[in-house]
């Protein structure tokens, strides 16, 4: 996509502080990091949603993201890391090219996701699980392929 900032980074039209690149993915430092060392891992093909990324590419994104997280812990002295992927504007996606955030974390870094925790009403937990399992069985089959 001509107007996608991440596609332009892939093409070399916009500079980026690259930390990893192969035939499927590119990883570079986020220019507005949550913590220093915050990396974005993106597919080299343009996909707005994670749902359209080929399985091999999505797997590579998470594998590389995890390896980057380990490197952040070992080399930049962080305690942990988050892998975060927002799919759609309602989920907080700002750049409409799917991307995985690798956020290095320290025990006292002061950052909080602010998760809320709801409680399912009686019967709703099992009903929701059954509905999702039925949809997944129709979409991907029982074998998980």
Which tens digits make up the pLDDT trace of 26-49?
999 999 999 999 999 999 999 999
Please, which pLDDT band fits residue 103 given cuts at 50, 70 and 90?
A: very high
State the Cα–Cα distance between residues 116 and 125, nearest whole angstrom: 17
Q: For residue 138, tell me if it sits in a domain.
A: no
- Residue 15 DSSP symbol: -
Angstrom distance (rounded) from CA 95 to CA 28? 15
Q: Is residue 94 part of a domain?
A: yes
Q: Would residue 118 count as lying in a domain?
A: no
Domain tally for the chain?
1
Q: How far apart are CA 48 and CA 63, in angstroms?
A: 20
pLDDT for 8 beyond 80: yes
Question: Is residue 99 flagged as an active site residue?
Answer: yes
Predicted TM-score (pTM) of the model is 0.92
Catalytic residue among 38, 47, 97, 99: 99
What does the alpha-carbon distance between residue 54 and residue 45 come to, in Å, rounded to a whole number? 10
Judge whether 70 lies within some domain.
yes
Does 143 reside within a domain? no
pLDDT tens, position by position, 67-98: 999 999 999 999 999 999 999 999 999 999 99
42 is in which domain, residue-wise?
5-108
Q: What is the CATH number of the domain that holds 68?
A: 3.30.428.10
């Amino acid at each position: 996509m001509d107007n996608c900032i991440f596609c332009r980074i892939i093409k070399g039209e916009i500079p980026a502080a690259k930390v990893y690149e192969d035939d499927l993915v590119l990883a570079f430092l986020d220019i507005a990091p949550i913590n220093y060392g915050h990396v974005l891992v993106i597919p080299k093909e343009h996909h707005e949603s994670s749902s359209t990324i080929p399985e091999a590419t999505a797997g590579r994104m998470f594998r590389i993201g995890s390896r980057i997280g380990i490197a952040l812990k070992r080399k930049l002295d962080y305690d942990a890391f988050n892998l975060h992927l927002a799919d759609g504007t309602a989920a907080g996606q700002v750049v409409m090219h799917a991307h995985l955030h690798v956020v290095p974390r320290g025990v006292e870094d002061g950052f909080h996701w602010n998760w809320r925790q709801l409680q399912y009403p009686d019967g709703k937990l099992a009903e929701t699980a059954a509905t999702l399992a039925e949809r997944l069985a129709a979409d991907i089959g029982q074998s998980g392929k």
